[in-house]
């Protein structure tokens, strides 16, 4: 047995909890929910700042702040003070960390569209209009409007649009193909300043001037979320004093952040001491369970509350002697 190594491996450093504008890095002690008391690891309550997270240095057993290796590929664009557009807040702060200079978020929409008169709301309206147009024109009366309620129907519609837009069938949409759609649909007459070319400006994530199917999905908010039927309800049983972790079983490419609810109230923004959604793995952590934590919790991906998982937390009152775990 290698005691030191075992301790380190038992910690799980979770990052990117945004509390009052600060990234709050936490480690969760895995043994906590395996029947032992929690142990204050070097990353617990260590503030690393935005775009950074705490990593345990295995040489020194100390927590060190490092730039995030990656961010969740969530599309919620923000404009940086360096004039660049970032996919989300996390990417901006990560870039700031990696480059070693401060990049702040520009909240003005003018910054977003400094070389373009297309405003965010107009861009959203244009995309809704394109969806509706294709819905009416190419889907039968039976499926009409279904994309507003069903992600499967929306995916079907966006798939159909991609097929139409990609005239040469090479699996990519380029500017000339967009211009054909604009011409064919008479979209240049739109009153707003947004055009389909804005898809290439804002959703060509790798800047290769082509839209892949994935980039197209991102533009139209298509998330392929999955929750197996047998996992729609999950039961967790813990003893008072232990820690608990409930992991949301909703998975999918580019899954939006997971939100947790209890008694119809969102838990994520409450900033509770005992109950946290630290990190971006979609788990809910309860540091020291008491009987007040007993009950039902639900989780869903942000914006898609129709697909939710129910977690039932049973708490038994058996007294636990809290000791330092023997290794």
Contact positions vs Ca ion (CB under 5 A): 166, 168, 170, 172, 204, 206, 208, 210
Quote the least distance from Cβ 167 to Ca ion, whole Å.
Answer: 6
Quote the least distance from Cβ 217 to Ca ion, whole Å.
Answer: 12
Q: Judged by CB, which is closer to Ca ion: 60, or 206?
A: 206
Q: Judged by CB, which is closer to Ca ion: 10, or 181?
A: 181
Q: Judged by CB, which is closer to Ca ion: 204, or 277?
A: 204
Q: Judged by CB, which is closer to Ca ion: 218, or 242?
A: 218
Quote the least distance from Cβ 105 to Ca ion, whole Å.
Answer: 24
Quote the least distance from Cβ 207 to Ca ion, whole Å.
Answer: 7
222-233 residues labelled b (16+ CB within 10 A) or e (exposed):
bbebebeeeeee
Q: Judged by CB, which is closer to Ca ion: 208, or 305?
A: 208
Quote the least distance from Cβ 174 to Ca ion, whole Å.
Answer: 6
Quote the least distance from Cβ 104 to Ca ion, whole Å.
Answer: 27
Structure tokens at 66: 């490092």
Q: Judged by CB, which is closer to Ca ion: 205, or 320?
A: 205
């Amino acid at each position: 047995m290698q005691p030191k190594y075992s301790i380190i491996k038992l910690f799980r450093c979770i990052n990117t909890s945004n509390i009052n504008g600060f990234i709050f890095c936490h480690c969760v002690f895995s043994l906590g929910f395996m029947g032992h008391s929690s142990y204050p690891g070097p990353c617990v309550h260590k503030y690393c700042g935005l775009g950074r997270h705490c990593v345990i240095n295995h040489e020194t057993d100390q927590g060190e702040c490092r730039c995030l290796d990656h961010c969740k590929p969530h599309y919620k664009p923000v404009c940086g003070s360096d004039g660049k557009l970032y996919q989300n807040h996390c990417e901006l702060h990560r870039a700031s960390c990696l480059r070693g200079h401060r990049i702040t978020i520009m909240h003005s929409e003018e910054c977003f569209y400094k070389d373009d008169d297309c405003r965010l709301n107009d861009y959203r309206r244009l995309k809704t209009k394109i969806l509706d147009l294709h819905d009416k024109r190419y889907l039968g009366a039976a499926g009409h409007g279904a994309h507003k309620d069903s992600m499967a129907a929306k995916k079907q519609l966006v798939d159909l649009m991609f097929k139409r837009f990609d005239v040469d069938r090479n699996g990519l949409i380029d500017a000339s193909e967009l211009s054909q759609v604009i011409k064919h649909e008479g979209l240049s007459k739109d009153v707003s300043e947004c055009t389909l070319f804005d898809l290439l400006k804002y959703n060509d994530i790798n800047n290769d001037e082509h839209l892949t199917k994935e980039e197209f999905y991102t533009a139209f908010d298509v998330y392929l979320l999955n929750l197996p039927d047998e996992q729609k309800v999950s039961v967790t049983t813990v003893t008072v004093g232990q820690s608990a972790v409930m992991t949301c079983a909703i998975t999918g490419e580019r899954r939006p952040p997971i939100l947790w609810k209890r008694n119809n109230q969102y838990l994520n923004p409450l900033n509770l001491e005992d109950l946290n959604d630290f990190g971006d793995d979609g788990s809910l952590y309860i540091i020291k369970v008491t009987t007040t934590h007993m009950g039902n919790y639900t989780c869903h991906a942000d914006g898609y509350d129709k697909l939710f998982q129910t977690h039932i937390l049973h708490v038994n009152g058996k007294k636990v002697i809290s000791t330092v775990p023997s290794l």
